[in-house]
Amino acid sequence: MAFIQIKRINGLDYYYLVKSQWDHNKRSSTQHIIKYLGNAQNVTSEDISEKYKDNPKILSLLAINSKLQQERSLHITELKKQIFAYLKKGDVNQILEIADNFTKQSSLCEFYDIILKPVMYEIGTLWESNKLDISTEHVCSNIAMETIHLINGEEQEEVDT
């Protein structure tokens, strides 16, 4: 019998495709990892070996996971919009609150990689295409840097200009 085993590490779920086999000598079941599937948020049916794709337990978990992935994607899109708006306003406290709430469910590294970094790329692209003025771009960049320093517990240094 095969199933997906979930391991939670640092608040994140990771999936393993596991096969359970009866050991007659030990009179107990032993589990063997067939395949490491990765971060649960990224696992799809394509990650499952053909041999196990028709397993109802696996399909059920993947269906639930797919719905959660869609909901998470919508949530992340909304968070990016909020971060962009707060960067333009210079509202560090609101960004810190979003980061704090996000890292309760995920990691700080993911906050940087899937929220802050794409927003900063968008700001750069908008500035480059003259859809965002230079002063707004500077405000966004400075607020992003201040936010990173505060999140990481670093003190801001005054820069002589």
| Token code pair at residue 57 | 């337990």
Q: Residue 161 pLDDT more than 80?
A: no
Q: What is the per-residue pLDDT for 155? A: 47
Percent of the chain with pLDDT strictly greater than 70: 94
Lowest mean pLDDT segment, chosen from 13-17, 99-103, 144-148: 13-17
pLDDT over 70 at 152, yes or no: yes
In the three-class reduction of DSSP (H, G, I as helix; E, B as strand; rest coil), residue 37 is classed as: strand
78 and 116 assigned to the same domain: yes
Tell me the backbone φ, ψ of residue 63, rounded to 5 degrees.
-65, -45
User: Domain residues for 106?
Assistant: 71-151
18, containing H or E segment: strand 12-23
Residues 35, 104, single domain; the answer is no
Q: Is 136 part of a structural domain of the chain?
A: yes
Residues 76 and 115 in one domain: yes
80 and 140 housed in the same domain = yes
111, 46: one domain? no
3-state secondary structure of 3: strand
Q: Are residues 48 and 85 in the same domain?
A: no
- For residue 116, tell me if it sits in a domain: yes
The residues pairing with 17 across neighbouring beta strands, listed in sequence order, are 4, 35
Judge whether residue 62 has pLDDT over 50. yes
Predicted local distance difference test score (pLDDT) of residue 22: 84
CA distance 131 to 157: 31
Residue 110 within a domain: yes
Q: CATH number of the domain that 86 lies in?
A: 1.10.1240.10
Domains in the chain, number: 2
What is the arithmetic mean of pLDDT over 68-86? 92
For residues 28 and 84, membership in a common domain is answered with: no
145 and 118 housed in the same domain: yes
Q: Please give the mean pLDDT across all residues of the chain.
A: 87
**Residues 104 and 144 placed together within one structural domain of the fold:** yes
On whether both 40 and 109 belong to a single domain, the answer is no
Q: Is residue 65 part of a domain?
A: no
Mean pLDDT over 72-96 rounds to 95
Mean pLDDT of 65-78: 87
Rounded Cα distance, 151 and 19, in Å: 42
Spatial neighbors of 18 by CB under 8 A, at least 6 apart, are 2, 3, 4, 5, 31, 32, 33, 34
Residue 66: inside a domain:
no
- What pLDDT does residue 129 have? 96
- If you average pLDDT over residues 82-89, what whole number do you get? 97
What pLDDT score was predicted for residue 154?
60
Domain match, 96 and 127 both: yes
